[in-house]
Amino acid sequence: MQDKICVQCHISGKVQGVWFRASTQEQAIALGLTGWTRNLPDGRVEVLACGERGAIEVLLAWLKKGPALAEVSEVSQQEVDWQTFERFAIL
């Protein structure tokens, strides 16, 4: 499992109701990542993505801007233990 990682991210700003989760899923699938994304009750979006480090870095860069209608103010991220998922889901 060389150079494969999982990262957990919390995205703040205007990120709910702007197709953020669906757009994140599209990006992740295109990058060959697995994991999930979900809305949080406090208005943030949470993402858990697993895959090749380079693909994760591309997704992290995308999360900092998000889809066209989003206004991202902050992205916090931390590497977490490897987890295996069959796909990238919207929870």
CATH top class, domain 4-90:
alpha beta
Please compute the mean of the pLDDT values over residues 5-26 and round it to a whole number. Answer: 97
Q: Around Cβ 55, how many Cβ atoms within 10 Å?
A: 19
Torsion sign over Cα 60, 64, 67, 70: positive
Give pTM, 2 decimals. Answer: 0.95
Q: Based on the residue annotation, tell me whether 21 is a catalytic residue of this protein.
A: yes
Look at residue 71 in the predicted model and tell me its pLDDT: 97
Class of residue 2 by CB neighbours under 10 A (exposed 0-12, middle 13-18, buried 19+): exposed
Residue 1 has pLDDT above 70, yes or no: no
Q: Based on the residue annotation, tell me whether 38 is a catalytic residue of this protein.
A: no
Domain ranges (residues) in the chain: 4-90
Beta strands in 15-91 (DSSP E): 34-39, 45-52, 71-80, 88-90
Confidence bin at 2 (pLDDT 50/70/90): low
Q: Which of 21, 38, 44, 53 is catalytic?
A: 21
What distance separates the 2 farthest-apart alpha carbons in the chain?
Answer: 37
Look at residue 29 in the predicted model and tell me its pLDDT: 98
Residue 15 has pLDDT above 60, yes or no: yes
Look at residue 37 in the predicted model and tell me its pLDDT: 98
